[in-house]
Structure 1
Amino acid sequence: MNNDSSSRIVARLKERINTSPPGARLPSTRALVAEFAASPVTVQKALQALKMQGLVEGRPGVGTFVRAARTARPSDYGWQSAALGSPQTLVPSASATMRTVPNDAISFHSGYPDRELLAERLVQAALARAARGETALSRPPVAGLPDLQSWFARELGETTPAGINPPTPSDVIVLPGSQSGLSSIFGALVGNGQPLLIESPTYWGAILAARNAGVRLVPVPSGPEGPDPSELARAFEETGARMFYAQPHYANPTGAQWSGERGEEVLEVVRDHGAFLVEDDWAHDFGIDTTPVPIAARDDSGHVIYIRSLTKSVSPAIRVAAVIARGPARERILADRGAETMYVSGLLQAAALDVVTQPGWQTHLRSLRHQLQSRRDLLVASIREHAPQVHIENIPKGGLHLWLRLPDGTNLDKLMRDCENDGVILAGGNEWFPAEPAGPFIRLNYSGPNPGAYHQGARILGRALKHSYQ
């Protein structure tokens, strides 16, 4: 029996507990094994879960009993409000994309690829080797393992054109995930109350990191081909900002990809204003119809701060990323990272490096490209067939997501509730806007579990849309 079986037993026993008086005795383990046709290990696991939740208690040699409810004294934390004062910024809670949902739900909301899209054997073997190696017992350098720094520098350097100095390993800072890098960049290089230009819509985690740093967000509208360079220049001039955060390749949530010409134009605007471009290359390994060439490869004057993550492509359990920056900006980011985390686990760094340097990694990426293409196309076809009211502005050339514009007047909250009641979990588009949303949107993840359910999920979405107008 697996975890799902144990969870079902827990749910059934909870129903019984809710209707039983305190002190009531549950059936014996042997009786529960017969009732649920489960193994003794699975039943014991379910009972242990109920004990951890405080619902039952075991009495050795006697049995398991419904625990008497305790009336707890209400906690009073009012003193903390006076001690802490008003927050400088109102930081939202974690994104709805991080929700854990039932296994039988059709999950369109997540921001991570399904386990079957990961190089599982490579990852497990790499973790085993790392656990036996020196990095399991030693402290790595603050900026990262030298070999991993070299790998990140080499990856970017391979796309650097002639006449541009490629990055060196000493330009690389290894991070415990790109989210921490964004926090350091915004906090150390922008600062509290200062303006930050940011694409709209954009990655919710960047919005969260910026707000947590007290940065003032200035939205720059961005479409399937990126922002209008003239609008970007105007925003720099009007605000005096010195930084622009963007995702030139397979943007989250829109899937947009800038052309090479658009990238050159944006870089020119940034240079003209003596500013920084923060290039978030989170989906570098998720190309489908194109292969991304980072804008950072065309800059050796320190205007582009480049972030690349391995967390989604290697494993969510291996939170390893890197920022490549030059000059004083790099030193400020490193100082902030050192104060925050001191260093990144050497074991995780070694495992990540092991995975991406194995011959099988490139084979995996080629297979991944085809799998993402088939999933993307299946979801697009499902939406067009069963939810034709939805507008698909852009078929992404890579990444993990499909960005959908809903009909004007759609009650987004009602739509999401109705879909969830029918077992379909959506991610509403509002949290990807740094200011007011430009309309009703949803983001669907085509790399999630059970692609065979895409047609059913789209059918439920289309049906719910008919009853979701304001």
Structure 2
Amino acid sequence: MYERSSVAELAEFLRSELDRYPIGGKLPSSRALVERYRVSPVTVSRALAQLAAEGLVVTRPGAGAFRSRPRTADPLTGDTSWQEVALSAEGAGDVVPRSVDASGVLASLAAPPTGVIELNSGYMHSSLQPERAMAAALARAGRRPGAWGRPPVEGLPELRDWFAREIGGGVGAADVLVTAGGQSALTTALRALAPPGAPVLVESPTYPGLLAIARASGCRPVPVPADAEGVRPELLAAAFEATGARVFVCQPLFQNPTGSVLSAARRPEVLRIARAAGAFVVEDDYARHMAHEDAGPLPATLAAEDADGIVVHVRSLTKITSPSLRVGAIAARGPVMDRLRAIQVVDSFFVARPLQEAALELVGAPAWPRHLRTVAAELRHRRDVLVGALRRELPGAELPHLPLGGYQLWVRLGGEGDDAAFVAAALRAGVAVAPGRPYFCAEPPAAHVRLSFSGVPGPGDLVEAVRRLRGTLA
């Protein structure tokens, strides 16, 4: 029995037997529960902690667990309908609606129903995560001197130095600010660089989380079409001229969702165009550690090729480790760093020091390069398995680009395809996929879906998912 399921089962058993004990009555000891239910002491401890969190028991160190007094229901049932007016009323200075559409983000965060194969995940399955290495790193981090003290607001110097070396070029530790993951870093960057109402140029298609950040910040995302070689420079220049934008956000390496890489010829063009427009380029380098085994040498970061402070670089450890290891970084040169630092301090003070210490322990351990090699091989294998299954079973689905990194395939639906109908049919067949519409901030040129191959237990699940899709569409 898996540990998580055994905890849930034991908690349910104890919950059903609580009526046998009076209010304040003592439950059997942990040792007795271990013997009665044949589970580990850890399982007993977690089950009791779950009941305590529900307010059903009270645990007293050294004394045991006791049944608590039932909570009384809150009698207040006020009318909150007034909030619809307050939240939607726009003042004279509001240039964009203040409502926030997080559906594109939630699609990759929500756990699917039992029995549904998860091809819409934004993270790696636990079988691909370095769980043992992270647990060991967290344990070592907790024993570091001062591990629970207040860190510098910019982040631990050693961690900033590690990020600087990873980014490369002339980036130094003083140019790096540690953030609570990539999403937080992107939010800080947009708030620093684009005032409310300002246009922000984005690749089309692009990551829905970025579009949500822009709109929540009161900015107007403006699409710039991209192809297999990345953003098209001539259209980028035209967009800067037409809108007067001062920010362009891109993912030059293994772009989400297409998996494309900005070509060597276009890289200097993008920097030249931004420099001529007096604009910043926010480089979201989210997938550098998710290169596939056959990717070959990776291009340097745009930040490493920028000497004039044009590039604001964003990266994170979250994708390659765990959704809960929310540690990332922003790198920037010049006065903009002062603004980035000020915004982060106001928003969250700093990133929790134990997480920073654990990240340092993890990336400095011998298990780290082994983990990267394992993921590179497994992602390539899963990509090939999913591509092969699609070509055999769903020949009408088009793959415009075969990615060499990242964790997803961008699939164009043939004919008069409808991504919403496809997603609904897939879910009825027991497969969760991500619709393509949220990846566009304007009308999409065609119907697409995004299929993630990292969030399932193994390659066999990918084959089964495509088999289910074939049966439904047929």
TM-score, normalised on structure 1?
A: 0.83
In 2 relative to 1, CA 10–387 (structure 1 residues): closer, same or farther, beyond 3 Å?
farther
- Cα pair distance change 1:49/1:133, threshold 3 Å: closer
| Structure 2: runs of 5+ lacking an equivalent | 14-18, 20-35, 58-66, 91-96
Residues 9, 221 of structure 1: alpha-carbon distance in 2 compared, 3 angstrom cutoff: farther
Alpha-carbon shift at residue 267 of structure 1 (Å)? 1.2
> Is the aligned partner of 1:216 residue 2:220?
yes
Which residue number in structure 2 is paired with residue 410 of structure 1? 417
Report the CA distance between 1:310 and its aligned residue: 0.4
The alpha-carbon deviation at position 437 of structure 1 amounts to: 2.4
Is it true that 1:114 corresponds to 2:125 in the alignment?
yes
State the match for 1:373 in structure 2.
Answer: 380
* Aligned counterparts of 2:258 and 2:191: Cα–Cα separation in 1: 26
Cα offsets for 1:5-53 (capped at 9, x unmatched): 67689999xxxxxxxxxx9xxxxxxxxxxxxxx9487999999989988
Q: Which amino acid aligns with 2:199?
A: P
AA in 2 matched with 1:457: A
Q: Which moved more, 1:359-368 or 1:144-153?
A: 359-368
Displacement of 1:253 in angstroms is 1.0
Are the counterparts in 1 of residues 429 and 472 from structure 2 also a CA contact under 8 Å? no
The SS at the match of 1:322 is strand
**1:459 equivalent in structure 2:** 467
Matched, 1:90 2:99: yes
1:271 and 2:275 matched: yes
**Paired residue type of 2:210:** A
Structure 2 residue identity aligned to 1:416: V
Contact between 2:10 and 2:44, CA under 8 Å: does it hold in 1? yes
2:367 & 2:49 partners in 1: Cα distance? 41
Mapping of residues 201-212 of structure 1, within 5 Å: 201-212=205-216
Deviation at 1:420, TM superposition (A): 1.5
2:385 partner amino acid: L
1:156 is matched by which residue type in structure 2? I
- Give, in angstroms, the shift of residue 357 of structure 1: 1.6
Q: Does 1:152 align with 2:136?
A: no
Q: C-alpha separation between the residues in 2 aligned to 1:143 and 1:44?
A: 37
Residue deviations 1:52-74 (CA, integer Å, cap 9, x gap): 889x99xxxxxx9xx9xx99775
Using the alignment, how far apart are the partners of 1:464 and 1:412 within structure 2? 14
Aligned-pair distance for 1:256? 0.9
> Which deviates the most, 239-248 or 85-94?
85-94
* 1:253 has 2:257 as partner: yes
Counterpart of 2:60? none
Greater alpha carbon shift after TM alignment, 1-10 vs 381-390: 1-10
Check if 1:310 corresponds to 2:321: no
Task: Determine if contact 2:11/2:48 at 8 Å carries over to the other structure.
Answer: yes
> Structure 1: which amino acid aligns with 2:216?
N
The equivalences for 1:353-368 within 5 A come to 353-368=360-375
Distance, in Å, in 2 between the alignment partners of 1:292 and 1:86 is 48
Give the match for residue 287 of structure 2: 283
2:175–2:332 CA contact under 8 A, matched in 1 = yes
Q: How does 1:321-332 map to 2 (within 5 A)?
A: 321-332=328-339
Q: What is the RMSD computed on CA atoms of the aligned residues?
A: 3.3
Contact persistence 1:199–1:220 (CA under 8 A): yes
Aligned-partner Cα distance in 2 for 1:46–1:409: 51
What's the counterpart of residue 80 of structure 1?
Answer: 83
**How many residues are aligned here?**
433
Alignment of 1:168-183 (within 5 A): 168-183=172-187
The Cα of 1:120 is off from its aligned counterpart by: 2.3
Q: How does 1:42-57 map to 2 (within 5 A)?
A: none
Q: Does 1:301 align with 2:325?
A: no
Report how far residue 243 of structure 1 moved. Answer: 0.9
Q: Which residue of 2 aligns with 1:163?
A: none
The aligned residue for residue 338 of structure 1 is 345
Please tell me whether the aligned partners of residues 429 and 469 of structure 2 are also in contact (alpha carbons under 8 angstroms): no
Q: Which moved more, 1:131-140 or 1:223-232?
A: 131-140
State the secondary structure of the residue aligned to 1:305: strand
| Cα offsets for 1:131-155 (capped at 9, x unmatched) | 1123432100011000011111112
Cα distance change on mapping 1:79 and 1:373 into 2, 3 Å: same
| Matching residue of 1:15 | none
Q: How far 1:180 sits from its partner (Å)?
A: 1.2
CA distance in 1, matches of 2:197, 2:218: 6
- Tell me the distance in 2 between the aligned counterparts of 1:47 and 1:171: 46
Q: Which residue of 1 aligns with 2:231?
A: 227
Q: 1:345 to 1:43 in 2, by over 3 A?
A: closer
**Structure 1 stretches (4+) deviating beyond 3 angstroms?**
1-12, 38-54, 70-75, 79-85
- Counterpart contact for 2:98–2:216, Cα < 8 Å: yes
What per-residue deviation string (whole Å, max 9, x for no partner) do you get for residues 103-129 of structure 1? 532110101011222222221111001
Q: Could you tell me the TM-score, scaled by structure 2's length? A: 0.83
**CA 6–174 in structure 1, closer or farther in 2 if over 3 Å, else same:** closer
Residue in 2 aligned with 1:129?
Answer: 140
Aligned: 1:382 with 2:389: yes
Aligned residue for 2:288, secondary structure, equals coil
CA offset at residue 363 of structure 1? Answer: 2.2
1:366–1:6 Cα change, 3 Å = closer
After superposition, the C-alpha distances for 1:313-367 in whole angstroms (9 at most, x for unaligned) are: 1222210000000111111111100000010011101111111122331122122
SS in 2 for 1:149: helix
Q: CA deviation at 1:269?
A: 1.0
The answer to whether the Cα contact below 8 Å between 1:314 and 1:355 also exists between their aligned partners in 2 is: no
User: CA separation in 2, counterparts of 1:396 and 1:202?
Assistant: 15
What is the CA–CA distance in structure 1 between the aligned matches of 2:255 and 2:177, rounded to whole Å?
23
What secondary structure, in the 3-state scheme, does the structure 2 residue paired with 1:285 have? helix
| Cα distance in 1, alignment partners of residues 74 and 163 from structure 2 | 56
TM-aligned CA distance change 1:44 to 1:197, over 3 Å? closer
Which moves more between the two structures, 314-323 or 373-382?
314-323
Instruction: Give the gaps of 5 or more residues in structure 1.
Output: 13-22, 24-37, 58-63, 161-165
Q: Percent identity?
A: 40
Write the letter of the residue equivalent to 1:287. Answer: A
Native 8 Å contact 1:311 1:319 kept in 2: yes
Give the AA of the match of 1:77. Answer: T
Per-residue deviation at 1:453? 1.6
Residue number among 357, 379, 394 corresponding to 2:401 in the alignment = 394
